[in-house]
Chains A and B, each alone.
Chain A
């Protein structure tokens, strides 16, 4: 879009909405808050989610968990790759949104978006490999076949990074859903727009509704009910400051959520598998093998 065109017509603003259960609701509270760019210019009004929005998002995530965790790993890989494809097509939009959100130059924002798209591709490839890397047969000392395999923890609340509003966001969401978890994501409080726009991409990328749910608003307000929610299985505290992280971890103890504490991360670096394994359970199944027949045994 050229300067000239913009001058000729008034642009159409986007009403940013939450992304919950595959739909785009406003906050049930009816609240919005002002989102500005790094220089303080108004960008949009974002929904300011309430605890009820958080609750609805958990319901949606739980509902989606069965089918998503039950999908083949190959299928999940295809879906994640599809997200990358869709993002590539919307690259310019996200470059603009990230530049505005994070106060980056266009070229730096482009580097962020490219890295983000590549991150989806990276995790898309992991879906059908992680089981082989972290699972396997165990050589027990007895006539048993014994196999350990990873399974998703369930519904994961994700406090997305505050600073890295897009690359950071995808770097914490993609590993959660790659393995079959479903996510309730709290977008960066001051830069929620890329996250809300990502919801639009996910909705058109074969990601089933409810697998990723995006909430914007005051991080502490939304995170508290999620950390305490008995039907949430895990929480990633990436975007929580020290005080909030401790508070949330204490709340999370009520149903023994798996907690990934905040830690310094360079999101441009190729990740390890820690974010994948943080939200995996190991299930070990035993079955007798024994000999082929009764004649094999003697005393």
Chain B
């Protein structure tokens, strides 16, 4: 991992609220219709046979298998961990998922469940999903998760501050959380794109997050009406592509919420392939935040292997 501090070219951008605002508002605008048309056009790519097999395995390897329920228990989390390690018990060639994603109090359980498998444990933190808490509370949340062994922290930004134009506050908070993550945990910054409302805001938030040291930028919590969509993910892929071109720093992207089918997942991989490029086609740089997606990927994988359509009874419900 290269250091994720902003490159010197951009070091003065965050000098004050006004310089930051000027920078973010100076980014090229986004034409919504054009963006959506491009996403739709890439959505017509026809991914068949060997390409499909490759894409399905890649997608499985990119899943952050997630449970973020009030009713989560150690048992539920252990089952999820087992599934992440062996997504398809009938076929050991199936890749593991990238991570399991849980609340901070479940990190220790998850860590134990995936021990030795290479599957990471990600934890949402910073008063997920609303992000409405004092900074100290958020940082405590992060520290607890990291202390329990979380490899990755999925933080939410303060959308209220963002929409009010207090970009430096959002920036400072991300910097503080990044610091709390220490050197071992990678930081995913969730924008809750559905609440940012406009594509221009999503582009600005992406740059803001990357300037503040995000390792990943992530669309959503999965807890609002509109989560990951092809256009908003395409837009974020453009942002990480441009950020690397400018600073040399590569940042990952994680669409989360609403991606349920293999067909959808493959469309996202096409977006990655033709926007950010092949460098991002790796679970170090691209993730799917999803729960039900995995089973559909597994059923499709079985179909490709056997030529028969599979059914829900042939994949595990965890």
A interface residues, Cβ below 8 angstroms from B:
143-144, 288-295, 297-299
Confirm or deny: B229 has a beta carbon within 8 angstroms of a beta carbon on chain A: yes
Interface residues of B in 193-239 (CB under 8 A from A): 193-194, 196-199, 201-202, 225-226, 229-232
Q: Is the CB of A294 within 8 A of B231?
A: yes
Q: Is the interface of B mostly helix, strand, loop or mixed?
A: helix
Q: Which residue of B lies closest to A289 (CB)?
A: B33
Q: Which residue of A lies closest to B230 (CB)?
A: A299
Q: Is the CB of B226 within 8 A of A288?
A: no
Q: Which residue of A lies closest to B224 (CB)?
A: A295
Query: Inside 8 A of B197's CB, which chain A residues have their CB?
Result: 292-295
| A288 vs B258: C-alpha distance when bound (angstroms) | 27
Q: Is the CB of A295 within 8 A of B230?
A: no
Task: Tell me the minimal C-beta distance from A145 to chain B in angstroms.
Answer: 10
Confirm or deny: B116 has a beta carbon within 8 angstroms of a beta carbon on chain A: no
Confirm or deny: B32 has a beta carbon within 8 angstroms of a beta carbon on chain A: yes
| A25 vs B158: C-alpha distance when bound (angstroms) | 76
Q: Is the CB of A143 within 8 A of B33?
A: yes
Q: Is the CB of A294 within 8 A of B33?
A: no
Q: Is the interface of A mostly helix, strand, loop or mixed?
A: loop
Q: Is the CB of B198 within 8 A of A298?
A: no
Query: Inside 8 A of B318's CB, which chain A residues have their CB?
Result: none
A-B contact pairs, 30 of them (CB 8 A): A143-B33, A144-B33, A288-B31, A288-B32, A288-B33, A290-B31, A292-B197, A293-B197, A293-B199, A294-B32, A294-B193, A294-B194, A294-B197, A294-B198, A294-B199, A294-B226, A294-B229, A294-B231, A294-B232, A295-B193, A295-B194, A297-B32, A297-B36, A297-B229, A297-B231, A298-B226, A298-B229, A299-B43, A299-B264, A299-B267
Cβ 8 A contact of A290, one of B36, B39, B201, B267: B36
Q: Which residue of A lies closest to B197 (CB)?
A: A293
Cβ 8 A contact of A294, one of B40, B202, B264, B267: B202
B interface residues, Cβ below 8 angstroms from A:
31-34, 36, 39-40, 43, 193-194, 196-199, 201-202, 225-226, 229-232, 258, 264, 267
| A143 vs B32: C-alpha distance when bound (angstroms) | 10
| A98 vs B317: C-alpha distance when bound (angstroms) | 99
Q: Which residue of B lies closest to A143 (CB)?
A: B33
Task: Tell me the minimal C-beta distance from A206 to chain B in angstroms.
Answer: 43
Q: Is the CB of B226 within 8 A of A295?
A: yes
Query: Inside 8 A of A298's CB, which chain B residues have their CB?
Result: 226, 229, 258
Given contacts A295-B194, A299-B43, contact A290 B32 (CB under 8 A): yes
Query: Inside 8 A of A297's CB, which chain B residues have their CB?
Result: 32, 36, 226, 229, 231
Q: Is the CB of A295 within 8 A of B225?
A: yes
| A299 vs B36: C-alpha distance when bound (angstroms) | 10
Query: Inside 8 A of A292's CB, which chain B residues have their CB?
Result: 197-198
Task: Tell me the minimal C-beta distance from A127 to chain B in angstroms.
Answer: 35
| A294 vs B258: C-alpha distance when bound (angstroms) | 15
Task: Tell me the minimal C-beta distance from B307 to chain A in angstroms.
Answer: 29
Task: Tell me the minimal C-beta distance from B138 to chain A in angstroms.
Answer: 25
Given contacts A294-B199, A298-B229, A299-B267, 12 further A-B contacts (CB under 8 A): A288-B31, A290-B33, A290-B36, A292-B198, A294-B32, A294-B197, A294-B226, A294-B231, A297-B36, A297-B226, A297-B229, A298-B258
Task: Tell me the minimal C-beta distance from A10 to chain B in angstroms.
Answer: 76
